Amino acid sequence: MSQAAPRWEISGEYFENCSCDVVCPCEVSSQGPMQARPDQGYCNVYLVFHVNHGRYGGVDLAGLNAVLAVHTPGPMAEGNWTVAAYIDARASAEQQQALGAVFSGSAGGPPAALGPLVGTNLGAKVVPIEYRGAGKRRSARVGDVLDAAVEAVPGGFDPDREVVKRNAHPLFPEVVQAYGVVSRYTDHGLQWDHTGKNADYATFRWTGP
């Protein structure tokens, strides 16, 4: 982390959809966070971030989006992640730099814990990103790269209430268990379809460095 990184704060909404079948073993396992082997032996996951309010030093980040696509060859804690980043095309050059610093972990805060796990960085692309969040559904479209929508699974005791996992995800204190309604990612020679697979969504508030 650079000592020159300014103070920053962001809050917003997040969702992910991965290649595991029902519930992410990285979150709910006797082996601890990110220690269990994913259902397919590997993990393909995209992480979508929408900033409701945020500043990076004097740079306003409200309303902007960022997406990470991640492949891990085994348990996430073992590292060697391959990561591709996507930055909102509506962002100015200053905003792009700020979003890249925050979500890469180079500006400190919670994302910094993931930095040592990355083995291959495929770089960042500036692309149109559309995000929507309403009720129990979250969705995003990233140019011609990602078309994604997730929705909360029905609850067991009360089908109309979300299934909530607390103290499970390493970055978020509380996440809603969801599933992929539509899930297609194509880029960097990778092609994923996680329709019907495990998903989460959450709100977050992060500060750094």
pLDDT at 3 (0 to 100): 55
Structure confidence at residue 32 as a pLDDT band (50, 70, 90):
confident
Cβ-in-10-Å burial (0-12, 13-18, 19+) of 56 comes to buried
Distance in angstroms (rounded) separating the CA atoms of residues 153 and 196: 10
C-beta separation of 197 from 2 below 8 A: no
**Whole-number pLDDT of residue 2:** 46
Q: What is the mean pLDDT of residues 25-51?
A: 94
Question: Could you read off the pLDDT of 82-131 as tens digits, one per residue?
Answer: 999 999 999 999 999 999 999 999 999 999 999 999 999 999 999 999 99
Please give the share of the chain, as a percent, with pLDDT higher than 90: 91
Rounded to two decimals, the pTM is 0.95
pLDDT digits (tens, 9 = 90+) for 129-172: 999 999 999 999 999 999 999 999 999 999 999 999 999 998 89
* Residue 70: strand pairing partners: 45, 83
Distances (CA, A) of 12 to 50, 75, 77, 160: 6, 28, 26, 24
How far apart (Å, rounded) are the C-alpha atoms in residues 88 and 127? 6
In this structure, what token pair is assigned to residue 191? Answer: 């092609």
Q: What is the CA radius of gyration of the chain?
A: 16
Q: Please determine, for residue 79, whether its predicted confidence score (pLDDT) is greater than 70.
A: yes
User: Does a cis peptide bond (omega within 30 degrees of 0) precede residue 209?
Assistant: yes
- pLDDT over threshold 60, residue 1: no
Q: What is the pLDDT of residue 170?
A: 86
Euclidean distance between CA atoms 18 and 200, whole angstroms: 9
